[in-house]
Amino acid sequence: MRWRIEVLKKVYGATPHPRLLVANRRYFRAHAADGTLMTLVAVVDGTECGCGTVCFTDVPPSPANPAGRCAIITCIYVREPFRGRGIARAIKRRLVDEARTRQCGEIHHTTPETPQ
In tens, the pLDDT along 41-56 reads: 999 999 999 999 999 9
Q: What is the pLDDT of residue 13?
A: 87
Amino acid at position 90, single letter: A
Quick check: 69 pLDDT over 70? Answer: yes
The rounded mean pLDDT for the chain is 93
Answer yes or no: is pLDDT of 116 > 70: no
**Residue 42 near residue 90, CB atoms below 8 Å:** yes
Query: Cα-Cα-Cα-Cα dihedral of 24, 50, 72, 92, to 10°?
Result: -170
**All residues at 6 or more sequence positions from 105 whose CB lies less than 8 Å from its CB, including other chains:** 62, 64, 65, 66, 67, 68, 69, 70
